[in-house]
Structure formats: structure tokens, C-alpha cells
Amino acid sequence: MSELSNDTLKIGISLAILCHCFGLMFLTAPAPSEEDFPMTVIVKLDSAQAAVSEQGQSLGMESVSENSLTEKKVADKKREIYLQYLEDVSLCIHARRFLEPNSHGLIGIALYKIRVNADGIFTAADIYKSSGNKQLDRAGLTAVRACSGFVKRPPSTGVQPMNIYQEVRYQYRLR
């Protein structure tokens, strides 16, 4: 680049900075007056989810009845109980992973489909997704079957048999 174009570039940059500073100093937005805000609105949300009508339409700013809030709290509590049940089943199964001989050196994950009665008894347990290792799949299935009836199903999950899907993980030196 020639010296003339270098000087032109420097002058252009300097002028741009000067115009920017001038604009910030003298061309500010007017301060809001009290007349711009005739009322104060405070919106308090009790839920992270939007309110939705039974038809799937948003209720917007309409009020939600106390009854629907109570129903939501009950549903949240049932969901919490159900998730805790799944966690308890997982812990029960993983505590029994090493019942099969020579299962301590296994590495992999298998997924099982388990049918659970209202009393917590597993009426069916099958491999849903194999780990690719027959010994691991068999050891995992033994652990699943050994856990049947140990974790009582919460009454809030109903009385109908239900299917759950449970991963059984084997990792090196993991107990």
C-alpha cells in the first residue's frame, strides 16, 4: 500500500471515531418521563411452563384457576415419585450385576424391557437392545430378574402392569 492510502485510511478511521463520540455525547435519547409509564405491572410466574387450554391453545395472560394449579402440583408429585421409583429399581439392579460368574471384567451397556405388576414383581424381562456381548447381556438379565419384587411400586403409579426400560452398565472396575 502506498503512503497516501495509509494516510487516507488513518484519517477515515479517526473521523469515524470522532463522529461516534460526538453522537454519544450530544445525541442521547430523552429520559423517560412519568407520563410514558402510566402504571406499573408486576408479573409473577409460579411455573416455568406456559398455561395451555385443553384444546392446546395458549391462555396468554388469562388467570389460571386454583384447581388447575392443584392438579399440576399433584401431577408433579406423581412424576417425582415415579422417577424415584425408577432410580430405586436401577440401584437395585446395579447392586446385583455381578451375580453371574466371571462378570467382573465385563464392559458395556445393555437395555432391558421389564414388565412390572402393581406389587413390584417383574412378570417379564427381556433384552431390548443388546450390548453385543452375550455374556454381558445374560449377566444383566440375571441382575434384572434378581431384583424382581425388591422395590415396591408406588400406589400412585396405578394398578395396571407397566413397562419400564432399564440400562444395565458394566464398566471396568466399577462396582
Q: Is the model more confident about 28 or about 73? A: 73
DSSP code per residue over 145-167 = HHTTTTSPPPGGG-SS-EEEEEE
| Cβ(89)–Cβ(115) below 8 Å | no
Q: What is the pLDDT of residues 30-58, one digit of tens each?
A: 555 555 545 444 544 444 444 444 454 44
CA 150 to chain centre: 27
CA dist 86 and 165 (Å) reads 9
Amino acid (1-letter code) at residue 21: C
Confidence of residue 141 (pLDDT cuts 50, 70, 90): very high
Place of cell 444395565: 168
pTM: 0.59
Helix (H, G, I), strand (E, B) or coil at 170: strand
| Cβ(116)–Cβ(153) below 8 Å | yes
Confidence of residue 103 (pLDDT cuts 50, 70, 90): confident
What is the chain's percent helix, strand, coil content, to nearest 5?
40, 15, 40
Q: What is the pLDDT of residues 119-138, one digit of tens each?
A: 999 999 999 999 999 999 99
